[in-house]
Structure 1
């Protein structure tokens, strides 16, 4: 007992002795910069090293990623970013990302999500063969800049302006639009660009909390070691030293801890609005309605022969509808290259059958072929179904085996197997084929567009 009391006295005296060194808060709350400087100044060099290496223990509130499958089991699922770009509706982008940040906070309050999200992808979709173009809003620089601004605002700002809601991350900074193309991969690609091409909207206008340097080099300098790009353009300051010294480590830590303080990591949860969000704020009816609206706004009608669309239910009574192709029953592939757990997935076949249920409408489905497989053995079943149908809807496109991270295409043409099937179906159908393309990047649809 005597030893325990003595130990407690030592601790109390030690803490009391340091109290005079704490910053003066009487004149009002300290800024994030002041709090960071004080925190880093109290760390030993060994403690500093543990926080800057890649093997540092994860800080739960800051670590990226979401753990699905618990309670709540899923989050609201929204269309891919290429869809949002096609909508040209930045109000949608802002409201969608506001929902995402709200649900992220709710997951974080259950210790099942971090608050640092690796988005937006700020690169321009210059070449439709790039596998990750689906993660961008498209090829237009102005549209991309407006989209980036709306997205960052929706993620980082909210009901409580005192704190960041979550942190966005401009990636991959910069000039990244190649995965693996004819012998050159993203780790060895050297982008030759001018200063005008460098992305600034995300950093200087939207005030994004973090950036991720790209895999490639820029004008022969690796992006992550490009002092002009990272220091002058991103941080507007230069390193004074050519070697790493303790003040360089301090500065690196200050960038990290500054974000943590702005997220509210060091403050009492009771005083923070975002820390009160719960599973009741996840996948709400309003969020589902927003998801549907954004999907509808992103659909592009390329051609409408004789105004045959839209199809009205009453006019389909006693008719037979043929649904053909593998993307007609696509589920996960509809979500693109990156996605979490959706509360539900409704593929086109399921949706059309649900809409026509209880009516005298015959809806039948066959695959016909696979997206990447040259096997034509399913053609006969598709041809017979099309021959007997009043309406034929063919669902084509691409999937992640053809486009995605680390996978570039070498052509923008429609897969040969799909064109072959279309040629065969055209010989037997009673009316024009309705073609629906589901893909994350552009395809040359010239034949489909000019075909009667």
Structure 2
């Protein structure tokens, strides 16, 4: 870090007292919103005393400017503040939750929505976001799956790169860029039993192959900050994990940015059982490489004592303070603390443009899970439609969890979206039941509307805060009395299309057996209603695919496609094989599943050359034809398998993807190029290893075996 220290930062470091240096490591809440436990405290008094270096949860041009003015004009050294906030899937314009947006399999879209979020956030004074969240997630009981890119490390790494680029732009000094924070390093998504904040049990191989790659990709993309997970790794909390934070992230990966604790995570080293008090906790975190203490006051209270006792050195404090000051330098805050160019950016004037992009993002995120009898699309407006269920007109729920500064009144739920599309149809609306709790008295009226209708749109799912942080669900199914409502409506025999809103796969196999069609509508954001209308009416042919496997039963959890082969793989006729007695091994819907209104055929899968040496490249190509009646977009997934290696490899590994927009009867070739580095794997020492032998490649629309074409290449080392 010191190698790139600017003269200004060096001068400041010489001028600062110990307390002022520690103050730069202290992040407090501005209290505009609440995102964690505890009271925000008097941040203004701390600011004037020189004992705070950054704030979170304070935005709005006027408020931020006044607080920044005090930092610059009324403190001894005039050091500007960083203003952070959870800009996860939009700031004012709300885009689909990350899990939904990952369903688009579209890095260009991910970057575009992050760029808009950055523009809107910067215009309101923010300079840092606590995003992207890069925890590979394979357990739908864990509520924070909603914030993730799904179950696959390769896909999540692409998500990481796109989001970092979108938030930070081409130049972090630009007043319209904000610093990104890659969180939560690492394996937070593997919390035992899907319970938030619980212990984590993963092998070192899983850590290196599954949970670390997205963070390493973010570092390579230039991410400004990293946030360790609340959880532990090998019984050491990540907030104090020297081997991961200092030795690997800083020394091996070369990360020179800022490491920010999660909310009060340093203090939580005490209940974790690795620190006796806040002084010891502060010393452990600082020596591990954590630069900023978020809302814990552990550094302010504990580091002076730790320094006095010799538990930390002045060098530890100096290194952390330098990194914080260098981030402020890189953000251009010393030269432009108010980021005046951002004031001139009128994001309200771009409201229509941003909402158009939100609508496109939302419809690209809707997964058509089932479509029996091709009931969808409904191209001719029905005479009478019943819109039923507690999510039909749930304006607030469209925001989803972690909804930035989005306003409820700006959200378009399903009912007005469909009314705008089918303005000549009679639409009968009844919620039937509440999302959770309540009684069943409204079911009778809802059934009555269904019986009178030509078609039913049944809108079911979760309340938005049932996903996200502190929202683990042991039974991720339909909450409340929604199942009773659904079964009563389905019993009418009318054609029923289900819109399923959630932040995770909901385990409702019975629903797919009876409903004519089911759409995973997740939480789609500002333009949810219009996007759903586009899909239902056929204005947009569904193109999204599941970034997670959708379980048939919670007894399968965790279930994911990239499992390792067993010595006794599942064989239906063999009792002594890896299988259940009462369930299939396969999920209800595999990774990559997603139907369209047209039919795509994949053929002529070629791999060239057929023999590879280290340092060479291989091209994979497949022909895709639209054999259906309408135009549509197909995403081709490319997998590999190393069938014989020194370390047992997964049955499939995603290595690439490509898209093709096809008119009816049109054929295109989808092609990607890989290097032999992409074929390597962590060896017994976890260093990349390329071994000789056959590599199997696969191409197709999903990870389901019968969907895949196969080709081989021979590696010569």
**Fold equivalence (TM over 0.5):** yes
Q: 1:377 to 1:353 in 2, by over 3 A?
A: same
Q: Does 2:497 align with 1:434?
A: yes
Alignment partner of 1:349 out of 402, 415, 418:
415
Q: Map residues 43-442 of structure 1 onto 2, 5 A cutoff.
A: 43-53=16-26, 56-57=46-47, 62-67=54-59, 75-108=92-125, 114-158=126-170, 165-177=177-189, 186=197, 188-194=198-204, 195-196=207-208, 197-199=210-212, 200-236=215-251, 243-268=311-336, 274-275=341-342, 277-280=344-347, 283-312=350-379, 314-316=380-382, 319-339=383-403, 340-342=405-407, 344-357=410-423, 359=424, 361-373=425-437, 375-400=439-464, 402-415=466-479, 417-429=481-493, 431-442=494-505
CA–CA separation in structure 2 for the residues paired with 1:376 and 1:212:
44
Asked if the contact 1:102/1:277 (under 8 Å) is kept, the reply is no
CA–CA separation in structure 2 for the residues paired with 1:39 and 1:273:
24
Asked if the contact 1:181/1:409 (under 8 Å) is kept, the reply is no
Q: Does 2:10 align with 1:37?
A: yes
- Secondary structure of the corresponding residue to residue 329 of structure 1: coil
CA–CA separation in structure 2 for the residues paired with 1:160 and 1:198:
27
Asked if the contact 1:269/1:275 (under 8 Å) is kept, the reply is no
- Deviation of the 1:280 alpha carbon: 4.5
- Deviation of the 1:181 alpha carbon: 5.6
Asked if the contact 1:160/1:273 (under 8 Å) is kept, the reply is no
Q: Does 2:513 align with 1:450?
A: yes
- Deviation of the 1:417 alpha carbon: 2.7
Q: Cα deviations across residues 185-204 of structure 1 (Å, max 9, x unaligned)?
A: 51x52443314144233443
- Deviation of the 1:64 alpha carbon: 3.0
Q: How many residues align?
A: 407
Q: 1:160 to 1:425 in 2, by over 3 A?
A: closer
* Cα RMSD, aligned residues only: 3.2
Asked if the contact 2:172/2:330 (under 8 Å) is kept, the reply is no
- Deviation of the 1:353 alpha carbon: 2.0
- Deviation of the 1:251 alpha carbon: 0.4
CA–CA separation in structure 2 for the residues paired with 1:163 and 1:295:
28
Q: 1:334 to 1:61 in 2, by over 3 A?
A: farther
- Deviation of the 1:422 alpha carbon: 2.3
Q: 1:63 to 1:282 in 2, by over 3 A?
A: farther
Asked if the contact 2:118/2:176 (under 8 Å) is kept, the reply is no
- Deviation of the 1:99 alpha carbon: 1.2
Higher-strand-fraction structure: 2
State the partner residue of 1:3: none
- Deviation of the 1:284 alpha carbon: 3.3
State the partner residue of 1:11: none
Q: Cα deviations across residues 372-418 of structure 1 (Å, max 9, x unaligned)?
A: 22622211111111111111110011124533321211123344732
Q: 1:439 to 1:239 in 2, by over 3 A?
A: closer
Q: 1:447 to 1:227 in 2, by over 3 A?
A: same
- Secondary structure of the corresponding residue to residue 442 of structure 1: coil
Q: 1:268 to 1:375 in 2, by over 3 A?
A: closer
Asked if the contact 1:180/1:408 (under 8 Å) is kept, the reply is no
Q: Map residues 19-34 of structure 1 onto 2, 5 A cutoff.
A: 33-34=6-7
- TM-score, length-scaled by structure 1: 0.81
Q: 1:164 to 1:211 in 2, by over 3 A?
A: farther
Q: 1:68 to 1:83 in 2, by over 3 A?
A: farther
Structure 2, gaps ≥5 residues long: 29-45, 64-90, 253-286, 290-306, 517-717
Asked if the contact 2:386/2:429 (under 8 Å) is kept, the reply is yes
Higher relative contact order (CA 8 A, sep 6+): 1
Q: 1:165 to 1:54 in 2, by over 3 A?
A: closer
- Secondary structure of the corresponding residue to residue 230 of structure 1: helix
CA–CA separation in structure 1 for the residues paired with 2:217 and 2:151:
16
State the partner residue of 2:88: none
CA–CA separation in structure 2 for the residues paired with 1:424 and 1:385:
12
Q: 1:32 to 1:371 in 2, by over 3 A?
A: same
- Secondary structure of the corresponding residue to residue 103 of structure 2: helix
Q: 1:46 to 1:91 in 2, by over 3 A?
A: same
CA–CA separation in structure 2 for the residues paired with 1:225 and 1:239:
5
- Deviation of the 1:239 alpha carbon: 7.3
CA–CA separation in structure 1 for the residues paired with 2:250 and 2:169:
21
